[in-house]
Structure 1
Amino acid sequence: MGREVLIGLIGVTGSGKTTFASIASGQSDLKIGRTLRSCTQEPQVVRFEVDGHSIVLVDTPGFDDDERSDVEIFQIIAKWLWLYNSGERRLLLDGLILFHPITANRIGGTERERTRLLQTILGENAYKRVIIGTTMWDDLRNDDDRFTHGIDGRLEEGEVWSEMNAKGATILRHNNNKDSAHGIIRQIIQKSEVEGGGVQLQLRQELIDVKGNVSKTRVGREVKRHIKDKLQVLNDNLRELDSSNPQAQVSDTNLQS
């Protein structure tokens, strides 16, 4: 048995992360969400073998959760990275699968923000280890072209996947079965072997440098900026609400009538 092949699973709630882990590993006891609420509350490790290789999948909490913000999810992942690397452990990523439901066409500000945070965690050197796994193909009936257009749009220059794709990230279709899941894993194994093993995450090295203080890392600073921006918007909304004059609006309405 060779070294462990470490693969991270990341994506929005309901994108198929835990289902992928269950199908790939054959472990039917994994808790799989059937609603819009995330079942994976903390990163969980799933171990099994593919072609004699020891595979370690790290299933992370889903984004777009109705109970926790994306910022909180990234903080959980950062904390796990620090704790996992305590002692003699040395985390080198062989691959990361970013799950994307094919039916999610619209590119919103939330997706842009979390993609920036993900890139900050990975670092440019790890982009080539990213596989964007498109899911939910079996939910489609017709008009596949309309949904593949959403993928093309994310690859356009300046869009959410363009930088990672330009630096080696690949897009693969996951057909929600064991052969498809193992096919994706085999591609990760092959690329890792060709390139001499796993790569170090940018965040991991930063956490070592700052002794685990997430707020001092690039992703920590990005999170703080994000929170300050949100607070500014809320404060502006409060000031606008306080400055409004309902009595004047009522008077105007009476005059018009």
Structure 2
Amino acid sequence: MDREVSDVVIAVMGATGAGKSSYIKRVTGRRNILIGHSLACATEEVQSYRFHYRGINFVLVDTPGFDDNRDSDEIILSKILTWLGASFRKGTRLSGILYLHRIIDPRMQGSALSNMRMFRRLCGPAFYENVVLATTFWGSIDPALGAEREKELRYNNEFWGQLVERGSQLVRLDEDEESSRKLLLSLARKNRSVLEAQKQMQAGKSVGDIAAFHRVVAEYDTKFDQEIERECNRRSAEILRRENEIREKLRQQSREAEQKRSEAARKVQDEEERRDMCRQARIEQQRREVERQERELEELRWARRPEKSYPLHEDPGCREPAQGNVDNHRCKLRNVEKRRCDRCGCRLHSLYTNYRLLPLLPLQERPVRFV
């Protein structure tokens, strides 16, 4: 296809199944563009499609996708480099590259990560500001999960971080025809530039040499990534082992501390019990001492009171033995408030309601003292 100098040439790149052909078909309105629905790439060769939009002649270049089941990434890169070399010799300069990525992919790793590195080397840092990084298939993913993956793509230097820092634009590509076309206008305003691969061709390197260089670098990157992964796994295992040792040590220290706390609590409890027993013993000793002093005081009061004898009954006609009456009288006063003798029924003297007998004298004459 012959191109005019005023043509805005935009290359559409990305992995197989990212939606490159679907996007070109949507913005150009052409129905003869094949769209792949499997892991096999529908675009086997580099193809150009011209269309006119808002007074600008656009030429969209559909490139074979990486990670194709039929061709290796090296063959696909050779096809893209061949087209870039031919267009460069004809004086064609790219206005930009639209790189598509499926947001539904869990993460960029393995061959996808290797292809991203190859894409950065293909463009070169000077061309980064002419690159638009577009994520597709937003209708097939939860918005929150998609936003999280988009954030990882944007800020991780292994993914798109380096490109965004140097001027690449990050957009979400939906299936709206008008918004898809407006995206091209932002690339049309960019200054046309030369890719790093085209500069190498201009310096005399062949497509095979450049492709071989990228293949060797990709293999080195793969080995480096594997070595890094092994080292990370080894360090992770070592860190996990140390963490387990530290946790076990902490658990042991916790058990020892708990044992010490239990022993200390037991000692405190034993000490409290000992003190309580001592306190109870002192209280009991003081109580006995108080009782002893009370007895001594009571005996002293009895010793200082005058002695006087009273008959046991108000009725002198009672002939019951005095000893029996007194014993019965004392017994009853301890339990009931009776004022009469249980044997004779006579009323007891009122002074006997509160008394204490001294050691008994002969039965007929026995003194009684007040308390």
When normalised by structure 2's length, the TM-score is 0.56
Q: Is residue 2:45 matched to residue 1:45?
A: no
**1:107 to 1:230, Cα distance in 2 relative to 1, 3 A:** closer
In 1, distance between residues paired with 2:207 and 2:101? 31
Looking at CA atoms only, which structure, 1 or 2, has the larger radius of gyration?
A: 2
After TM superposition, give the deviation of residue 130 of structure 1 in Å: 0.8
In 2, distance between residues paired with 1:22 and 1:7? 14
**What is the DSSP-based 3-state SS (H/G/I as helix, E as strand, rest coil) of the residue aligned with 1:46?**
strand
**1:69 to 1:2, Cα distance in 2 relative to 1, 3 A:** closer
After TM superposition, give the deviation of residue 106 of structure 1 in Å: 1.4
Q: Taking CA–CA contacts closer than 8 Å with sequence separation of 6 or more, which of the two structures ends up with the larger relative contact order?
A: 1
Number of residue pairs aligned between Structure 1 and Structure 2: 222
Pairing of 1:65-80 with structure 2 (within 5 A): 65-80=68-83
**1:157 to 1:14, Cα distance in 2 relative to 1, 3 A:** closer
Q: Is residue 2:195 matched to residue 1:207?
A: no
In 2, distance between residues paired with 1:10 and 1:64? 12
* Structure 2 contact 114–222 (Cα < 8 Å) conserved: no
Aligned partner of 1:109 in structure 2 is: 110
Aligned partner of 2:128 in structure 1 is: 127
In 1, distance between residues paired with 2:135 and 2:185? 17
In 2, distance between residues paired with 1:154 and 1:113? 14
In 2, distance between residues paired with 1:9 and 1:227? 25
Q: Which amino acid aligns with 1:49?
A: H
In 2, distance between residues paired with 1:117 and 1:83? 20
**What is the DSSP-based 3-state SS (H/G/I as helix, E as strand, rest coil) of the residue aligned with 1:85?**
helix
After TM superposition, give the deviation of residue 155 of structure 1 in Å: 2.1
* Structure 1 contact 3–54 (Cα < 8 Å) conserved: yes
After TM superposition, give the deviation of residue 229 of structure 1 in Å: 7.8
Q: Is residue 2:4 matched to residue 1:5?
A: no
In 1, distance between residues paired with 2:80 and 2:212? 12
Aligned partner of 1:158 in structure 2 is: 157
In 2, distance between residues paired with 1:22 and 1:213? 29
In 2, distance between residues paired with 1:230 and 1:166? 24
Aligned partner of 1:176 in structure 2 is: 175
Structure 2, unaligned runs of 5 or more: 224-371
When normalised by structure 1's length, the TM-score is 0.79
After TM superposition, give the deviation of residue 107 of structure 1 in Å: 2.1
In 2, distance between residues paired with 1:27 and 1:162? 35
**What is the DSSP-based 3-state SS (H/G/I as helix, E as strand, rest coil) of the residue aligned with 1:165?**
helix
Q: Which amino acid aligns with 1:199?
A: S
**What is the DSSP-based 3-state SS (H/G/I as helix, E as strand, rest coil) of the residue aligned with 2:170?**
strand
* Structure 1 contact 122–202 (Cα < 8 Å) conserved: yes
In 1, distance between residues paired with 2:158 and 2:136? 20
Q: Which amino acid aligns with 2:102?
A: P
* Structure 1 contact 47–57 (Cα < 8 Å) conserved: yes
**What is the DSSP-based 3-state SS (H/G/I as helix, E as strand, rest coil) of the residue aligned with 1:32?**
coil
**1:96 to 1:83, Cα distance in 2 relative to 1, 3 A:** same
Aligned partner of 2:238 in structure 1 is: none
Sequence identity, in percent? 25
* Structure 2 contact 97–132 (Cα < 8 Å) conserved: yes
- The root-mean-square deviation of aligned C-alpha atoms, in Å, is 2.3
